[in-house]
């Protein structure tokens, strides 16, 4: 008898659940785009409480794949969609929409920054990632081995960074010591070390994680500042994308319109990125 | 009781067993089917050292190496620690405290692995980094030590039960012959409990092989075999951490996906073998005569 009751309750739960199904927008992907989308989702829900928005991280590659497999409505992607990805999902019509701009900044531990290494050329960064420079001493810093932090292969930040630094978005970094995932994880590792170099989205810099200026071939120094992202001077910039399958409709469309509205763009700015239309 | 009720009960029990067995079979089949692409397209190149999805190189040896080394380290630490703890709780500790102490130790098993991972990242890897003066505390050793804590309850519980099942008359007779407690444990109890201890170790081995989350966070995730090969203070990668990090990034049906599933299949087979071995060991101990 007791068992029967339990079964009944279970059944009721299932029935009730399926009746009360709220509409939900499923979003997943890049941890660079994530802070914008999660705040925007909260704000959006204040006016539209009947719409559930579920946001998950995982990286740009996850955003594209899950959209391709129909598991989500919006993919967050912080790089261009690759040709292989388009070919892998012939039935999906990827429709990227830019919601903001960002820079990928080479970052170092604060100890290294304080020791005087505040600028590097792209060539020097490339040598570090290829494993040709292994000690900060060679760059005029302290006598410490460089902890080279790489990212998982399909992360958007890595694609954009490697495209500019090593010339190929999927280049292998022979000098890498650690391979990490999200911006968060990378940030933690750089803070925990006193001799690390890594790559981070501009919005994730802080006093413990310092962004390097880049010394261009003509000798000018380009800081990772908002102005330099706006005027495209900083060499490693990118669009923050959200991707839908074909033209968005209904709630998804409303949410995207909200992101592109002045309110949505303010959220982009507050998260540390650059709004799309100046 | 009605005959029909009896019958329903019987079918229910049979059905449940069949479903469980079927699920295992299903998982195996799915892994085999999905890894077939990798086996047929990449073939023996799977057993190489370089993994680069962009160029179609899928060498799983670094992951396989990492898996075994991490598991080895964890067993090296957890087996003696676990067995000595179990000897203490079952033979030395007064039995009124045994339950309390044992429950506390078993609580360890209930802690979600992500918690271990977070502790590992926030404190443990930093300690390792400072103690050994390393660039980064995310190493194979860190993962091994963390894992040893996680498999400890498995070893303690099973070993403690093994000692506890030995009838008291063995202890009493031995005492009557004038043996010290140490001698009783070493010469009588451990030899009797040996098959059970073996089973406990094998089960812990299986659990260590399959642990993902905690290992993934602290191991550094680089697909390389350390140089030199015994330098376990360098980052590495296990099969589970590789799967955890990369499986969602692969598109379903690609060779990349298939190669990942192939590693899953290998892990599955390894755990299967370990389970069968430990069951055999337990079977021989169940047939043992205490009388």
**Residue in B with minimal Cα distance to A181:** B245
- The answer to whether residues A117 and A136 touch, using CB atoms and an 8 Å cutoff, is yes
Q: pTM value?
A: 0.84
Q: Does position A10 have pLDDT exceeding 70, yes or no?
A: no
CB spacing of A147 vs B135 below 8 angstroms: yes
Q: How many other CB atoms are there within 10 angstroms of residue B20's CB atom?
A: 10
B187 token code pair: 């010469």
What are the tokens at A148?
């080279």
Query: How much of chain A, in percent, has pLDDT values that exceed 90?
Result: 69
What is the spatial distance between Cα A125 and Cα A117, in angstroms, rounded to a whole number?
A: 12
Q: Which two tokens stand for residue A238?
A: 């990118």
**Rounded average pLDDT over A7-34:** 73
The CATH number of domain B2-289 is 3.40.50.620: no
ipTM metric: 0.81
| Average pLDDT value for residue range A81-101 | 91
How distant is the Cα of A62 from the closest Cα of chain B, in angstroms? Answer: 5
User: What residues does each domain of chain A span?
Assistant: 2-101+239-270, 103-230
Strand partners, A149: A178
Distance, in Å, from the CA atom of B237 to the CA atom of B145, rounded to the nearest integer, reads: 15
Please list, in sequence order, all residues whose beta carbon lies within 8 angstroms of the beta carbon of residue A126, skipping any fewer than 6 positions away.
A165, A166
Give the residue among A133, A187, A182, A127 at the shortest CA–CA distance from A158: A182
Answer yes or no: do A153 and B246 touch at CB < 8 A: yes
B253: left (phi over 0), alpha (psi -120 to 50) or beta: left
Which helix or strand (DSSP H or E) is residue A101 part of?
strand A94-109
Task: Identify the segments of chain B with pLDDT beneath 70.
Answer: 1-2, 285-291
- Structure confidence at residue B56 (pLDDT): 86
Q: Report the alpha-carbon distance of residue A133 to residue A29 in Å, rounded.
A: 33
User: Exposure of B229 by Cβ count < 10 A (0-12 exposed, 13-18 middle, 19+ buried)?
Assistant: exposed
A65/B221 CB distance under 8 A: no
- What is d(CA A158, CA A198) in angstroms, rounded to the nearest whole number? 10
Per the listing, tokens 């007779």 go with: B173
Name the minimum distance, in Å, from the CA of B135 to any CA of chain A.
Answer: 6
From chain A, pick out residues whose CB is under 8 angstroms from the CB of B37: none
Interface mutation target, options B212, B248, B256, B260, chain A, most CBs of A under 10 Å: B248
Q: Are residues A150 and A137 in contact, defined by beta-carbon separation less than 8 angstroms? A: no
Q: What is the mean pLDDT of residues A22-39?
A: 89
For domain A103-230, the CATH superfamily is: Periplasmic binding protein-like II (3.40.190.10)
Q: Nearest CB to B136: which of A61, A85, A177? A: A177
Chain A environment of B55 (Cβ under 8 Å): 170
Do domains A2-101+239-270 and A103-230 share one topology? The answer is yes
The dihedral sign for the CA sequence A253, A258, A264, A265:
positive
Q: Omega before B85 cis (within 30°)?
A: no
Answer yes or no: is pLDDT of A4 > 80.
no
DSSP state of B44: G
Chain B residues with a Cβ under 8 Å from any Cβ in chain A: 52-55, 121, 125-126, 129, 135-138, 220-223, 235, 245-246, 248-254
- State the Cα–Cα distance between residues B124 and B149, nearest whole angstrom: 12
pLDDT at B59: 93
At B230, is the secondary structure helix, strand, or coil? coil
Q: What is the pLDDT of residue A214?
A: 94
DSSP letter (8 states) at residue A212? P
Give the contacts of A25 (CB within 8 A, at least 6 positions apart). A51, A52, A53, A54, A73, A74, A251, A252, A255
pLDDT tops 90 at residue A129: yes
Cβ of B172: how many Cβ atoms within 10 Å? 11
Q: Domain residues of chain B, as ranges?
A: 2-289
pLDDT for residue B247: 87
User: Is A146 a residue whose pLDDT tops 60?
Assistant: yes
Interface of A with B (CB under 8 A): 58-59, 61-62, 65-66, 68-69, 85, 88-89, 145, 147, 150, 152-154, 170, 172, 176-181, 188-189, 192-193, 195-196
Residue pLDDT, tens place only, A220-276: 999 999 899 998 899 999 999 999 999 998 899 999 999 999 999 999 999 889 988
- Structure tokens given for B92: 């030395």
| Domain A2-101+239-270 -> CATH class | alpha beta
φ, ψ for residue A188, nearest 5 deg: -60, -45
| DSSP-based three-state secondary structure for A26 | strand
Q: Phi and psi of A170, rounded to 5°?
A: -110, 20
């Amino acid at each position: 008898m007791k068992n029967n009751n339990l079964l009944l309750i279970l059944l009721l739960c299932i029935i009730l659940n399926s009746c009360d199904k709220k509409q939900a927008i499923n979003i997943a992907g890049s941890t660079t785009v994530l802070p914008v989308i999660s705040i925007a989702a909260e704000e959006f829900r204040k006016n539209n409480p009947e719409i559930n928005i579920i946001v998950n991280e995982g990286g740009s590659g996850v955003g594209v794949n899950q959209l391709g497999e129909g598991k989500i409505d919006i993919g967050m992607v912080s790089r261009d969609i690759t040709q292989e990805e388009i070919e892998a999902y012939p039935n999906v019509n990827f429709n990227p929409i830019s919601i903001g701009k960002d820079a990928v900044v080479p970052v170092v531990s604060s100890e290294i920054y304080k020791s005087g290494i505040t600028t590097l050329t792209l060539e020097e960064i490339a040598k570090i990632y290829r494993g040709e420079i292994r000690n900060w001493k060679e760059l005029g810093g302290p006598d410490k081995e460089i902890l080279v932090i790489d990212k998982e292969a399909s992360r958007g930040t890595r694609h954009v960074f490697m495209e500019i630094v090593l010339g190929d978005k999927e280049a292998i970094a022979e000098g890498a010591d650690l391979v990490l995932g999200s911006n968060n994880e990378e940030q933690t590792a750089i803070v925990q070390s006193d001799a690390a170099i890594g790559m981070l989205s501009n919005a994730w810099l802080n006093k413990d994680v310092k962004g390097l200026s880049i010394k261009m071939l003509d000798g000018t120094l380009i800081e990772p500042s908002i102005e330099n992202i706006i005027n495209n001077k900083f060499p490693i910039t990118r669009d923050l994308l959200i991707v839908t399958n074909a033209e968005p409709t209904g709630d998804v469309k409303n949410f995207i319109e909200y992101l592109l509205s002045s309110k949505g763009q303010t959220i982009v700015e507050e998260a540390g990125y650059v709004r799309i239309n100046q | 009781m009605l005959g029909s009720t009896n019958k329903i009960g019987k079918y229910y029990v049979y059905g449940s067993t069949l479903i469980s067995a079927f699920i295992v079979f299903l998982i195996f089949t799915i892994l085999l089917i999905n890894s077939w692409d990798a086996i047929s397209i990449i073939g023996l190149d799977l057993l190489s050292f370089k993994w680069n999805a962009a160029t179609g190189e899928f060498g799983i040896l670094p992951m396989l190496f990492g898996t075994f080394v991490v598991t080895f380290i964890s067993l090296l630490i957890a087996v003696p620690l676990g067995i000595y703890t179990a000897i203490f709780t079952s033979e030395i500790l007064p039995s009124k405290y045994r339950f309390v102490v044992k429950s506390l130790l078993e609580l360890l098993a209930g802690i979600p692995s992500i918690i271990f991972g977070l502790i590992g990242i926030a404190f443990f890897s930093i300690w390792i980094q400072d103690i050994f003066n390393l660039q980064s505390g995310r190493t194979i050793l860190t993962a091994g030590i963390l894992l040893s804590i996680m498999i400890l309850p498995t070893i303690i519980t099973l070993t403690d039960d093994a000692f506890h099942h030995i009838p008291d008359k063995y202890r009493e007779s031995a005492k009557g012959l004038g043996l010290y407690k140490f001698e009783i444990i070493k010469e009588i109890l451990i030899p009797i409990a040996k098959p059970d201890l073996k089973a406990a170790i094998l089960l812990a081995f299986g659990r260590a092989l399959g642990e993902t989350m905690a290992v993934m966070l602290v191991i550094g995730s680089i697909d390389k075999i350390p140089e030199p090969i015994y330098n376990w203070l360098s980052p590495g990668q296990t099969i589970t951490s590789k799967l955890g990090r990369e499986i969602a990034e692969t598109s379903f049906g690609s060779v990349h996906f298939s190669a990942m599933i192939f590693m899953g299949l290998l892990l599955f087979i390894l755990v299967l073998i370990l389970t069968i071995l430990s069951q055999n060991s337990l079977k021989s101990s169940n047939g043992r005569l205490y009388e």
